[in-house]
Chain A
């Protein structure tokens, strides 16, 4: 069965510092990969997605992610975070017509 692992439940970081949120997935076949962000009491907003092609994917709000097939990873990065990036981030995989979500990573940006 598909699974998604987000090893870090919380990532504290100071404003303007770089950040990486880790995501690993288990699949022996091609998958679609997604990162979503959830602000308090809101739904999920799509940050970026990997479907095929270039392994470096750029998304909204300055985020990017790199698909690494050999390591089955899809880590999310931002070179300089803002206070407004404080939120919950979910990695998800889709290859059977459903989204399987990781447990989420809480990014807390401090001034």
Chain B
């Protein structure tokens, strides 16, 4: 149980284009999903918290107009990197959990999406 998938697993795009990454909870309903960014040989940095049906909460320093997050259903959240540039190249990982009152203290992570912007 508690499987989270991401699609695509990796993507290469040209500078200036937009890229959408999907995060799905396959066997549970995730009221909250999180988006992280990981640079090579570094830890995960939280970008934003996404609650189903409401606007995402972004961490300080993360541009909300550049990293658009949509959490339209209890099993799907999307991250769109708009007008991507080479400095946006990174490993993006999502996680999902059930409501905290329902035992949702644990985040389950997707396999990650590697983005390379040329």
Contact = CB atoms under 8 A, between A and B. Distances in A.
A108 to B, nearest CB: 13
A104 B93 contact: no
A42 B112 contact: yes
B49 interface: yes
B109 A36 contact: yes
Interface residues of B, number: 21
Interface in A36-50: 36, 41-46, 49
B105 A94 contact: yes
Given A51-B105, A98-B49, A43 B93 contact: yes
A101 B43 contact: yes
Interface of B: 4, 6, 34, 42-44, 46, 49, 91, 93, 95, 100, 105-112, 114
A42 B44 contact: no
Contacts of B43: 90, 101-104
Nearest to A98: B46
A97 B104 CA distance: 10
Provide the main secondary structure of the chain B interface.
strand
Nearest to B93: A43
B59 to A, nearest CB: 9
Interface of A: 32, 34, 36, 41-46, 49, 51, 90, 94, 97-99, 101-104
A44 B93 contact: yes
Given A34-B106, A43-B4, A101-B43, 20 more contacts: A32-B105, A41-B114, A43-B109, A43-B110, A43-B111, A43-B112, A44-B44, A44-B93, A44-B95, A45-B109, A49-B105, A49-B106, A97-B49, A97-B100, A98-B46, A99-B34, A99-B44, A99-B46, A99-B107, A104-B43
Contacts of A98: 34, 46, 49
Contacts of A42: 111-112
Most buried by B among A49, A101, A103: A101
B101 to A, nearest CB: 12
